[in-house]
Amino acid sequence: MERPLGLAVLILLGCFYLVALFADFISPYTPPDQSLQKTYHPPTALFWENGRLHVQRYELADPDDMVYRKIEGEGAPVRFFARGHDYRLMGLIPTDRHLFLVDEPDRIYLLGSDETGRDNFSRLLYGARISLSIGLVGIAIIMVFGFLAGGLAGYFGGIWDNLTMRFIELVMAVPGLYLLLVLRGTFPDELSPGQTFFLIVIILSFLAWGGTARIIRGMTLSLRNRQFVMAAEVLGQSPLKIVGKHILPNVFSYLVVAASLSIPAFILGEAALSFLGLGIQEPSASWGLMLSQAQDMKVFMLNFWWLLLPGAAIFVTVIAFNVLGDVFRDIVDPKQKFLNR
């Protein structure tokens, strides 16, 4: 893969992160905001009238099959930078301005609504926050644990090395998703959204740190016989200091890339757990959770492409991280001596 592709992917991901960061500004509604009169609503059409953008008004034509019909000529003006619900921009600045809104009781559903009339567009944007942050938090954790376990195992060798490696083998001997489910089953179902998020990150890190630890161990083993490490030993520096001061800078780029190669696993793992109802819980939004709504028969037959949107979002994000990981890998380890999969 060539570098221009890496740049393109970087720009794409940059846009994704911007959208996720400003999700509360861009999205007109909060994820739990229901509107029970407008369930399974199709995407609202937009039209120009008197020089202003209007959102089409609909009426429910058939409550059994949830068929909505346009009311010709009726619409509500779309207001830009309008006042809506309160939030903190980037978590800091309290405000209630939104990129676009319509006056209640009309609603703007760019991507339709779900079975309780919640806005799919808003939920998709909020869901992006979960998927885009989980990988970053996750690799921070596995970088720390992978480095400590791998570095110390490689540096000290002997029993510590043996124990660490056997433990990693043990974890790797169980098919990933089976272990993921068992671990999730260990914890109570009723958790706050924040707790759930961190629980998922920690479980997924537990599954993923082994690979990173192995790579770091291999590199440490080869580094520890190098002269500068021996010199430090002769000077009587403590092992922890040696590992931190001499080994870490030498393996750091590998550590980052090795860890970042597992970002897709975090995104997919969270999506899978949320999809199964064991991850992010309603009424919070997550791409996996949105996909599980799509299993609903009504959605299946009426509004199929809801199902596509969160799925496509996961797909594009994961593909981007896969490409990026490969590009970084090629830069750091062009011969794939340490990093391969």
Using CB under 8 A, list all residues that contact other proteins: 1, 169-170, 172-178, 181-188, 264, 268, 271-272, 275-276, 291, 294-295, 300-301, 304, 307, 311, 314-315, 318-319, 322-323, 341
Of 11 and 61, the one with the shorter C-beta distance to other proteins is 11
Distance CA 272, CA 256 (A): 25
Q: How far is the CB of 112 from other proteins (least distance, A)?
A: 17
Q: How far is the CB of 312 from other proteins (least distance, A)?
A: 9
Of 140 and 170, the one with the shorter C-beta distance to other proteins is 170
Of 102 and 183, the one with the shorter C-beta distance to other proteins is 183
Are residues 109 and 37 in contact, defined by beta-carbon separation less than 8 angstroms? no
Contacts of 246 (CB under 8 A, 6+ apart): 223, 228, 229, 232
Q: How far is the CB of 281 from other proteins (least distance, A)?
A: 14
Of 174 and 230, the one with the shorter C-beta distance to other proteins is 174
* CA distances, 190 to each of 184, 195, 199, 277 (Å): 12, 10, 12, 12
Q: How far is the CB of 203 from other proteins (least distance, A)?
A: 11
Q: How far is the CB of 177 from other proteins (least distance, A)?
A: 4
Distance CA 57, CA 77 (A): 10
* CA distances, 153 to each of 145, 209, 224, 232 (Å): 12, 14, 11, 18
Of 153 and 223, the one with the shorter C-beta distance to other proteins is 153
Of 280 and 318, the one with the shorter C-beta distance to other proteins is 318
- The residue with tokens 């890190």 is 205
Q: How far is the CB of 329 from other proteins (least distance, A)?
A: 13
- Residue 97 CB coordination number (10 Å): 13
Of 133 and 322, the one with the shorter C-beta distance to other proteins is 322
Among 166, 164, 172, smallest CA distance to 145 is for: 164
CB-count burial class (<10 Å; 0-12, 13-18, 19+) for 169? exposed
Strands of the chain (E only): list them: 46-49, 52-62, 67-77, 79-89, 93-101
Q: How far is the CB of 202 from other proteins (least distance, A)?
A: 13
Omega before 105 within 30 of 0, i.e. cis = yes
